[in-house]
Amino acid sequence: MSTRIKQAIPVTPDVPRHIAIIMDGNGRWAKRRFMPRFAGHRKGVEALRGVIRACAERGVTHLTVFAFSSENWRRPQEEVTLLMELFLRALENEVAKLHENGIRFRVIGDLSGFSDRIQTLIREAEALTRDNGRLTFTVAANYGGRWDLVQAVKKLVASGEPVSEAALAEHLSLADAPEPDLFIRTGGEQRISNFLLWQLAYTELYFTDALWPDFDAAALDAAIASYRTRERRFGRTSEQLLTAS
């Protein structure tokens, strides 16, 4: 086996570098408790706070969460309005805490759909935390995987570069991050719902029936434990992995 191939086979680390999460089940969590759906979203913010902390403590370097998809605008107007208010309050109240803990914050998606106030807070938060290196926490908001591919193609065509996989990847929203090692979806659904379509090509998928507000550090550890059992071959055989090691 050539040296080049040996170097190209990644070793599965004990802890994934990059975890991507669809935080599903907030509304159902609230409904089961005879509470308004928005109460589930508020509880979901608390769960996210704990997961960010747990990822940083376990050595995860990138955490990307799907907070609001480009399709979520179709939800009832009252719920969308409350979600925007929750996003605004989170930006006002949580960013300073992230900064104190050495966490970089960023948002990917079509930000033009948000209010001027939200856009300003996003820019300020990204600027404040830009140099933090403990964990990069990315929120996908008004984001869709197809939108990401289209905007990347437009940028590539405008640049005049020759079209290739590598050139296209450089224009995607997460171009400066490693591709996710582990994808988690809570809430019992088993699909990726237009999230990071390009980046999840070789990601290990983990689905759990736990609703997002109930997802805690122990649930994260269970997902990571499942990840550790996976053999990440990237198109190669088990024998090639053994030879490379």
**pLDDT tens column, 83-98:** 999 999 999 999 999 9
Check the CA dihedral 213-214-219-223 and report its sign: negative
**Which residues are part of the catalytic machinery?**
24, 72
How would you class 134 by CB atoms within 10 Å of its CB: exposed for 0-12, middle for 13-18, buried for 19 or more?
middle
Least-confidence region, from 51-65, 124-138, 200-214, 218-232: 218-232
Instruction: Report angle CA 143, 149, 154 to the nearest 5 degrees.
Output: 110
Nearest CA to 52 out of 97, 15, 7 is that of 97
- Rounded Cα distance between 124 and 130, Å, is 10
Question: What would the pLDDT profile of 8-64 be if each residue is shown by its tens digit?
Answer: 344 456 899 999 999 999 999 999 999 999 999 999 999 999 999 999 999 999 999
Is beta strand 62-69 parallel, antiparallel or unpaired with respect to 135-143?
parallel
Q: What mean pLDDT value characterizes the chain?
A: 90
CA gyration radius, the chain: 19
What integer pLDDT is reported at residue 235 of this predicted model? 58
Please give the model's pTM, rounded to 2 decimal places. 0.89
What the block records as the tokens of 10 is: 């990644």
